[in-house]
Amino acid sequence: MLSRRLIPCLDVRDGKVVKGVRFRDHVVMGEIVDLALRYRDEGADELVFYDITASPEGRSVDRGWVERVASVIDIPFCVAGGIRSVEEARAVLHAGADKISVNSPALERPDLIDELAAAFGVQCVVVGIDSLRDADGEWRVRQYTGDPSRTQALPRRTLDWVAEAQQRGAGEIVLNCMGSDGVRQGYDLEQLTAVRRLCQVPLIASGGAGAPEHFRDAFVQADVDGALAASVFHSGAIAIPALKQSLRAWGVDVRL
């Protein structure tokens, strides 16, 4: 059967991988190709590159680094950030990306999902969703989360948006649970479980990984297909080979 996927997420700025609070205090971590190869060698199942400056600068992703990554990497990768049209998506896919991920632009204009699916097939189209629980207990979608000064809470319920995105042609959903993001206390299992119930396409958990057990819980309890993480992988706090050994020992099927 299909294995569960471990997916490091790399923030890209000006062709380099950076870390830091988004839009502030960026530290350059290294060359994008070097880090991509490092994760490939460690056994990452897939990579996500998030062009953090594309969207606020009102431009699409720089094709140059996408081509460089595509030419050396032999595992799948997805590119996110600033993709607002079929033409922009086509440029990224033709540069060698396997999938493109859309978030805020799909909220601005949901037809974008239909257009991308019609042009490239649902398997290329990932919809990223930033979600937070409101005081009334409902999970709702946030927009423009890349820029704290622009982030907006939408009236749209997360569960409704998941259903609509699938119906429009999302081939995969990445659910970033903002309430658990950055605190390393584990993925938001309650929210992931609720989304899983109505999500027939692959579901990727994002936000909260801090320990190997958190990955196990997301896979076993919330039945997600993949788990995305950034800081715990970048810092070396969790090494992918050891994590995969642990997951195997817990009965989670992963590629070794």
Partner 1 sequence: MSVVLVDAGGTNIGSVRYALQRLGVDAALTSDAAVIRAADKVILPGVGAAGPGMTRLRELGLVELMRSLTQPVLGVCLGMQLLCERSEEGDTACLGVIPATVKRFVEEPGLRVPHMGWNRLRPHRDHDLLKGLADGDWAYFVHSYAVPTGDYALATTDYGGEFASVIARGNFHGMQFHPERSAQVGARLLKNFLEL
Candidate list 51, 130, 188, 217, residue with the active-site label: 130
**Residue 235 Cβ vs partner 1, minimum distance, rounded to whole Å:** 25
What gap in Å lies between CA 218 and CA 234, rounded to an integer? 20
Q: How many residues line the site for partner 1 (CB under 8 A)?
A: 36
27 binds partner 1 (CB under 8 A): no
Residue 97, φ and ψ in degrees, nearest 5: -70, 150
In the complex, the smallest distance separating the C-beta of residue 219 from partner 1, rounded to whole angstroms, is 12
Residue from 56, 85, 223, 250 touching partner 1 (CB under 8 A): that is 223
**Applying CB under 8 A, does 167 fall inside the site for partner 1?**
no
Q: Is 130 marked active-site?
A: yes
DSSP string across the chain: -PPBEEEEEEEEETTEEEESSTTSS-EEEEEHHHHHHHHHHHT-S-EEEEETTTTTTT----HHHHHHHHHH--S-EEEESS--SHHHHHHHHHTT-SEEEESHHHHH-THHHHHHHHHH-GGGEEEEEEEEE-TTS-EEEEE-TTSTTT-EEEEEEHHHHHHHHHHHT-SEEEEEETTTTTT-S---HHHHHHHHHH--S-EEEES---SHHHHHHHHHTS--SEEEESHHHHTSSS-HHHHHHHHHHTT--B--
Clarify whether 11 is annotated catalytic. yes
Q: Binding pattern to partner 1, positions 98-127, x when CB under 8 A? A: x---------------------xxxxx---
Nearer CB in complex with partner 1: 87/147: 87
Under the binding rule (CB under 8 A), the answer on residue 8 touching partner 1 is no
- Helices 111-120, 158-168: axis angle to 10 degrees equals 30
Q: Is 225 in the site for partner 1 (CB under 8 A)?
A: yes
1 near partner 1, judged by CB under 8 A: yes
Closer of 22 and 99 to partner 1 (Cβ): 99
Contact pattern for partner 1 over residues 182 through 201, marking x by CB under 8 A:
------------------xx
Among 45, 51, 130, 181, binds partner 1 (CB under 8 A): 45
Choices 16-24, 87-95, 155-163, 206-214; region in contact with partner 1 by CB under 8 A: 87-95
- The residues annotated with a catalytic role in the active site are 11, 130
Under the rule (CB under 8 A), what is the footprint of partner 1? 1-5, 40, 45-46, 67, 70-72, 74-76, 90, 93-96, 98, 120-124, 171-172, 200-203, 223, 225-226, 255
